[in-house]
Amino acid sequence: MKLYTNPLSPNSRRASMVAIQAEVPVDVVVLDFAKGEHKAPDYLAINPNGMVPTLVDGDLQLFESRAIAQHLALKAPDRGLFPTDPQSLVDIARWQFWDALHFSAALRDIAFEKLFKPMMGMGDPDAAKIEDGKNRFARFGAVLNTHLAGRDYVVGTNVTIADLGLAASLTYAVPCEVSLADHPNVAAWFEKMTSLESWKQTLPPLGG
């Protein structure tokens, strides 16, 4: 299997963390965004979005990090990362959708304005957009905080792809000064996530 990634991408990190946690061997291909490798014709042939990550497993060409996470986790069912009993299955799906639409989206907007926009020479950060992202993070962080009360993990009693995916979304929380002080249950859970070897092995160059 080949996993096309970029180390700055939280979405890439989401897939990479699952591969490491599942102990599923993948050949990692790092795309150089500065050279436009993610827009090259041969790459667009496997991911027409021109984004990362992409997984190639035989005839399967799979984009979208959360789908890739599911596929990789299913390769190692004994690791318990993606339990397939009906209740766990839909619960994990719920948190994956919620993360993509709300939690990750708020953090992505903050990181773009505070880190990537200046880095790419796209002008000064937009304070209003940063504030909007922080407000959305506060709102949805409270949802996760309430859910984690009395729980060690998002779904079930061990680490799953729900945990790994949400942790990857928090990649730039520290360098972007997004505080978890108002969400102590999230902070305690996140501390566990950052102790995982899969987190440590996928630290991006900008910190996280």
CA 13 to chain centre: 6
pLDDT of residue 120: 82
User: What does each C-alpha distance from 150 to 82, 139, 145 come to in angstroms?
Assistant: 21, 20, 10
Q: What is the dihedral of CA 104, 64, 50, 43, to 10 degrees?
A: 150
User: What does each C-alpha distance from 148 to 26, 82, 141, 204 come to in angstroms?
Assistant: 32, 19, 11, 26
Q: H or E segment at 30? A: strand 27-30
pLDDT tens per residue, range 124-157:
999 999 999 999 999 999 999 999 999 999 999 9
pLDDT tens per residue, range 63-89:
999 999 999 999 999 999 999 899 999
pTM value is: 0.96
- Given a cut of 80, whether residue 206 has pLDDT beyond it is no
- Token pair for residue 23? 């102990």
Domain ranges of the chain: 2-79, 86-200
Could you say which of 1.10.3470.10, 3.40.47.10, 1.20.1050.10, 1.10.357.10 is the CATH number of the domain covering 86-200?
A: 1.20.1050.10
User: What does each C-alpha distance from 86 to 4, 52, 79, 152 come to in angstroms?
Assistant: 31, 30, 18, 21
Q: Label residue 208 by pLDDT band (50, 70, 90).
A: low
In the chain, % of residues over pLDDT 90 = 93
pLDDT tens per residue, range 89-112:
999 999 999 999 999 999 999 999
Question: What is the amino acid identity at position 180?
Answer: L
- Token pair for residue 190? 């996140």
Strands 54-57, 2-5: parallel, antiparallel or unpaired by DSSP?
Answer: antiparallel
CATH superfamily of 2-79: Glutaredoxin (3.40.30.10)
